[in-house]
Amino acid sequence: MARQPTRRSKDYQAPAQSSSAERARARRSQVRPVGEVKTQTGQKRERGGARQFMSESVAELRKVEWPGQRQLVSATAVVLLAIAAVGLYLWVADEAFSRLVREVLLR
């Protein structure tokens, strides 16, 4: 099935091709910051010490959605099961390879 050409109005003008210099200039202007560096909240970045760092850290920790007891218990169970499975796999692989080395390579 052939595609039919799209019909365009008489006043349609195709976009002009930009030169490589124009593209490079546009790319550089997008990368460099225009003004002063700001924090994530939009405030101006100020030079501060440990006290400011601690107060900002506490403010961020207040925003965290902490898990409930039920979610915490289920996540802990998943982690413990994953550790047990990986430990069992490594123990079996270690036994197999040590037997292979003892019986085949050292004999």
The rounded average pLDDT for each run of 10 residues, N- to C-terminus, in the chain (107 residues) is: 68 72 76 63 70 92 93 97 98 95 86
Cα 23 from Cα 78, distance rounded (Å):
51
| pLDDT in the model for residue 49 | 84
DSSP assigned state of 105:
I
pTM: 0.43
| pLDDT in the model for residue 9 | 72
Cα 16 from Cα 19, distance rounded (Å):
9
Instruction: Write the DSSP string, 21-65.
Output: HHHHHHHHHHHS-SS--B-TTSPBP----HHHHHHHHHHHHHH--
